[in-house]
Structure 1
Amino acid sequence: MNRLPSLFLSHGAPTLPIDPSMPSAQFGVLGAQLPRPQAVLMLSAHWGTAHPLASTATTPETIHDFYGFPRQLYEIQYPAPGAPDVAHRAAALLGENGILADTQPHGLDHGAWVPMLLMFPHADVPVAQLSIQPHMDAAHHFQVGRALRALKDDGVMVIGSGQITHNLRAADFSARPEDADPRVAEFTDWFETKLAAHDVGALLDYRRQAPHAVLMHPTDEHLLPVFAALGAADDDYSLAIQSLGTYQRSLAMTNYVFGSA
C-alpha cells in the first residue's frame, strides 16, 4: 500500500453542507480523488485541551457546537463508526515521542463532521478525533504530526481541519467572493510558497514572517491543525492545493494535500 497523504481542510462555517453558495461539492470531489483510508484521525480547531486527547468513542456523537443557525443544520447526524484502536495507537505514538497524551470518549465537533460528511457522505470510514492545544505553538503541533506519521502506514489518514485565514471580526457575511480583502491572498500566497518550498522553519515562524499574520489569525487555533498535517507528511511530500475562493471577505477556503512524492 502506498503511504496515505495527510490533509489540511478549511472547513468554513457550520452551514457549509446546506448553503448552496458555498463550495461544499468540491469537498466531495476531493474525497473521490483521494485513496480510500481505512480510518481517519481528525484534528479539529474546535476541540482544544491542555494536552492531546484521542477519542476512543465507538459511536461518536455528532456535536452541534454552534448556535443561531437554521434548524436543518441541527438535524444533521453523521453516524460514522469510531476508531478507538487508532486513538490508542495515536496516544501511544505521542507518548513514545515525549508528548504527554491520553484517551477519552469524545464526539465529533463540526470541524470534524462537516468535512467528513462532505468527503465521505456514506459515513462508512471510521474516524477518531485528536484534540489540539490552543495555548501551544505551531512547532508543538508539527511535532504532534511528526509523531503520528507512522499511522499513515497503517491506512490511517491524518486530517487537520481549521481555516487558512480566520478573522471573524473582519468578516462581512454579505460580501461576495470578489469582495475579498487583498491581504488574504497576500497571506495565503506566502504560506503556499513556503509549503511548496518545504520551508518548515519559515512556516513555524509564520506569526513573525508572514504578511498580515496576526490580522489573518488574531488567535491561531484555526491554523494549528495545518502544522499537524504538515508534520505527518513525508519529508519530500508533494503539495496539491484546492483553492475554493474567499468568502465573507476574510475567510479563505483552501485545502492542502500532502502526498507521497
Structure 2
Amino acid sequence: MALTMKDTFYISHGAPTLAIDKSIPARHFLQSWKDKVFPQKPKAILVISGHWDTSFPAVNIVHRNDTIYDFYGFPDSMYKLKYPAPGAPELALRVKELLMASGFKRVDEDRERGLDHGAWVPLMLMYPEADIPVCQLSVQSKRDGSYHYNLGKALAPLKDEGVLIMGSGSATHNLRALRMVDGIVPWALEFDTWLKDALLQGRYEDVNCYQEKAPHAKMAHPWPDHFYPLHVAMGAAGENAKAKLIHHSWQHGALSYASYQFKSAS
C-alpha cells in the first residue's frame, strides 16, 4: 500500500538559536514531533522556507544538502552544526512538473543550494537522524497570499506519494520590533489571535487576503516571506482541510511560534 501523507504543516521556526537554546519551548515541541505530532516517517520532505525568496518558484536539485549558515552574530557553536540530509532530486523535478502543469510558466532549478536555517533548524530537531531526503521550494515575496495558496494546491498530489509538505516561517515576524520584555506586545497578540481564529474557523480566503483583513498585518509582517509558507501548506491541504494549532509560545515579546497542522478532508 502506498504511503500517504494526509496532513500538511506550518512550523514557526523563530530564531536560529532554536537549534541550541534548550529554554525555548518550541524546541521541545519539535523534539517531540515523531512521538506526539506525526509518527509516520515520510518518504521525502518538501520544505517551503521563508529564507529562500526568488522572483519565480525554484527548487534545489542536489544529491546531498549542504548546511547553509544564513545568519550572523550568533554563538560559534551555531556554525558547527550540520544537517547532511540527502537531497531529493526526483521530488524536485516532480514539484516542477506539478507547478508547470498547473499554469506556473517558469520554475527554476538550483543545482548548488543546500538547506537554509528555515529548513535545517526545525528538521534537525524533528528528524535528527538526517536520513530523509529533503527538497526546498522558494517563496515569491512580491506575490500575494492567494498566489501561494494556489502554489500549494498544485502540490497536493505529493501527499499521496509519501511526501511531507511543510511550510517554515513565523506566525509573526518583525525583527525590528523584538524586545526583551515579559509580556506580549498588543499588536502581535491581536494579529496572532486573528490568525488562529481565521484558521480554526476555516476562513482561508481571509488568510489569503490577510493584508486587508488582519489587524496590524504590516506590523506583524513588514515583509511577507515568513508568512507565505503558511499559505502553501494551507493550499496543499485543500479547501476543506481542518486547521489545528499544535504549538503556541512566544519569544522577545513579539515573535510568535504558533504552528499549525492542516488535516486534509480526503
> How high is the TM-score relative to the length of structure 2?
0.93
1:60 aligns with 2:65: yes
Match of 1:97 in 2: 102
Match of 1:110 in 2: 117
Distance in 2 separating the partners of 1:256 and 1:200: 13
One of 239, 246, 249 as aligned partner of 1:235: 239
| Deviations 1:180-236 (CA, angstroms, capped at 9, x unpaired) | 113222112211211122222211111111111111111111101100000100332
Match of 2:252 in 1: 248
Deviation at 1:111, TM superposition (A): 0.3
What residue identity is the alignment partner of 1:146?
A: K
Match of 1:223 in 2: 227
What residue identity is the alignment partner of 2:170?
A: Q
Match of 1:14 in 2: 16
Distance 1:199 1:244, change over 3 A: closer
Distance in 2 separating the partners of 1:256 and 1:88: 27
**Counterpart of 1:140 in 2: which secondary structure?**
helix
Residue 60 of structure 2 contacts residue 110 of structure 2 at CA under 8 Å; is this kept in 1? Answer: yes
1:192 aligns with 2:199: no
Deviation at 1:149, TM superposition (A): 0.5
Distance in 2 separating the partners of 1:196 and 1:248: 25
Q: Work out the number of aligned pairs and report it.
A: 258
1:136 aligns with 2:143: yes
1:25 aligns with 2:28: yes
Identity %: 40
| Deviations 1:47-97 (CA, angstroms, capped at 9, x unpaired) | 111101111111011000111110000000001111111000000000000
> How high is the TM-score relative to the length of structure 1?
0.95
Deviation at 1:17, TM superposition (A): 1.3
Distance 1:31 1:12, change over 3 A: farther
Q: Which moved more, 1:147-156 or 1:100-109?
A: 100-109
Match of 2:163 in 1: 156
Distance in 2 separating the partners of 1:244 and 1:84: 34
Distance in 2 separating the partners of 1:216 and 1:81: 34
In structure 2, the gaps of 5 or more residues are none
Distance in 2 separating the partners of 1:163 and 1:154: 27
Distance in 2 separating the partners of 1:199 and 1:239: 10
In structure 1, the gaps of 5 or more residues are none
What residue identity is the alignment partner of 1:143?
A: N
Distance in 2 separating the partners of 1:143 and 1:235: 11
Deviation at 1:46, TM superposition (A): 0.5
**Counterpart of 1:16 in 2: which secondary structure?**
helix
Counterpart mapping for 1:177-216 below 5 A: 179-216=183-220
Distance in 1 separating the partners of 2:34 and 2:191: 26
Distance in 2 separating the partners of 1:245 and 1:90: 32
What residue identity is the alignment partner of 1:86?
A: L
Residue 204 of structure 2 contacts residue 239 of structure 2 at CA under 8 Å; is this kept in 1? Answer: no
Distance in 1 separating the partners of 2:205 and 2:6: 24
Residue 43 of structure 1 contacts residue 160 of structure 1 at CA under 8 Å; is this kept in 2? Answer: yes
Deviation at 1:2, TM superposition (A): 4.4
